[in-house]
Chain A
């Protein structure tokens, strides 16, 4: 149980600035997920917390104590690696006991802890096996077990699920969440998968090019993305972006693009009026779109259907608005066909606007 604090954290490798001025405060027992595309610095950040990577500048403190110069073994953390990093020449039991033996625990205590962890993870029958005799999911559990036997102050996870197949990944995701609720240990989790980030994190940190883009609860990121990158990264299918110009007409503000003229909702108009006459980007989530009715006139636009993707629980419509591609997620009961013209309406409360140059949310 511990707080972790990163202050002005930087990492420079020869010629590249991998992590730039990262500031982050992780509360006791919190599950924080670092998410971003590959090369965004999330794994490097995690490795600096672990002590596997030297810090170029800035501080990392655990429970108020700066750990910059502490060896990994002295930080009281546990880490689960992407490739599990199980010791191939040891049995499952020895793999889990290794950390305790290194820390000079008494034999009965080691036995008690390993047995308990194996119970929790359901790997009791595998204790005498070697890693090569285990399936991917079982190896994953052993790696988790090796981390939890030590009761560390902080858990670090480096893409622990990305080597598993899709079905197993969903299952382990749920188990991880359950495990965290049960153990109540501070955890930092790195992934490139936004679904994992959204489902596991108490808070999610979105990173890009070494900088933190936004920190917030999953739904906060989804509902109020700080910039275009976060908006496009969180949510699947991704948010639609349409470049438009703001114009004032009939006392209200309109976003205009080729084949599109929609009203800026009154609650947003106040902030957007400063940008009148300028380029902006309109962001529409696929799930906020639906076929229009007569009442929607100001918040609707015409589109041509390119492709219809019936997924059973929903239909994805790939349409064109002017020359921008847009994806809409609509009710599976509706019938559409390619080349058809369709009028789509959106929920005015859930439309986003971004500055065209800074890409920040307006």
Chain B
């Protein structure tokens, strides 16, 4: 394609792109630098002759060691992993089935039901945690992983349902009709034809749900209290900030290590994920 003068492309494409990338990646860079910076440098005032906020000449793993040995970080990681996986599985199972039903079964209230499910997704968590807290207290599951495993689906299921509904609608109806003529019952057509084709959609719904539960903060903060039950997001921020004392090095190490699993999940499935979002089914 002919784009005109080269400077125009630089001005309108590379420059904004560069600025965007810097803005996106700088927090991660800051996390890395702070993690490996020794305490002596961290608390150096800005007018010190050796003040260098963007790099360090004496990298150290001290903060990471502190984090892993002095805190319950490993437990938090395991807690988060368990909670995120189970709530993702529950939400996927419900979301896929509900999405299929809303997309394919022409029952009377399908449209209204679909909208209603979406509306529940719009209720802000900052309001919803108040009634949920009461329910959790009544069922005596406060301060256990189940408090989160059972509440995360309240926003994950609507989300998965909508994503899957869109995906199922993009799959030609004829595939299913053909399968049914070929001798498959509806559940068989669903299982052998529609679900395998929808794998990219299911994967992206799963990735999204996993990320959302991994990063969730409010419910985790409210429903869990003892340190050994906490998730990474809550544990790091509550145990490494004591009053007005910020353990910056360990705090950043926790944030860095805490974001690794999500990064791995994304990079693993990135192709399926893109296909799932763009919803392409080729015959």
Contact = CB atoms under 8 A, between A and B. Distances in A.
A82 B172 CA distance: 11
Contacts of B182: 73, 78, 98-99, 102, 146, 150
B184 A102 contact: yes
Interface residues of A, number: 28
Given A85-B172, A87-B175, A89-B197, A73 B181 contact: yes
Contacts of A131: 283
Given A102-B184, A102-B188, A103-B183, A85 B178 contact: yes
A115 interface: no
Q: Is the interface of B mostly helix, strand, loop or mixed?
A: helix
Given A79-B178, A98-B182, A87 B193 contact: yes
Residue among A50, A73, A98, A146 having the largest count of chain B Cβ atoms under 10 Å: A73
Contact of B180 (A72, A84, A146, A150): A72
Contacts of A52: 177, 180-181
A78 B181 contact: yes
A150 B175 CA distance: 17
A75 B183 CA distance: 9
A349 interface: no
Given A72-B180, A73-B180, A139-B283, A85 B174 contact: yes
A77 interface: yes
B183 A81 contact: no
Contacts of A150: 182-183
B181 A132 contact: no
Question: Interface extent on B, as a size class?
Answer: 20 to 34
B16 interface: no
A153 to B, nearest CB: 12
Interface string B180-202: 11111100100011001100000
Interface in A69-122: 71-73, 75, 77-79, 81-89, 98-99, 102-103
A195 B188 CA distance: 39
Interface string B59-76: 000000000000000000
B198 to A, nearest CB: 10
Interface string A132-160: 10000001000000100010000000000
B281 interface: yes
A83 B172 contact: yes
A52 B104 CA distance: 13
A15 to B, nearest CB: 16
Interface string A331-342: 000000000000
B183 A102 contact: yes
Contacts of B281: 88
B225 to A, nearest CB: 47
B143 to A, nearest CB: 45
Contacts of A102: 179, 182-184, 188
Residue among A50, A51, A82, A85 having the largest count of chain B Cβ atoms under 10 Å: A85
B242 interface: no
Contact of A73 (B174, B184, B193, B197): B184
Interface in B151-191: 172, 174-175, 177-185, 188
B282 interface: yes
Contacts of A50: 177, 181
Contacts of A77: 181
A73 B196 contact: no
Contacts of B174: 81-83, 85
A88 B282 contact: yes
Nearest to A158: B174
Contacts of B181: 50-52, 72-73, 75, 77-79, 99
A73 B179 CA distance: 9
Given A99-B183, A102-B184, 7 more contacts: A73-B181, A75-B181, A79-B178, A82-B174, A85-B172, A102-B179, A102-B183
Interface of B: 172, 174-175, 177-185, 188, 192-193, 196-197, 281-283
8 contacts: A73-B183, A85-B178, A85-B283, A87-B197, A88-B175, A98-B179, A102-B184, A139-B283
Interface of A: 50-52, 71-73, 75, 77-79, 81-89, 98-99, 102-103, 131-132, 139, 146, 150
The 6 closest A-B pairs by CB, nearest first: A99-B182, A102-B183, A85-B174, A85-B178, A81-B174, A72-B181
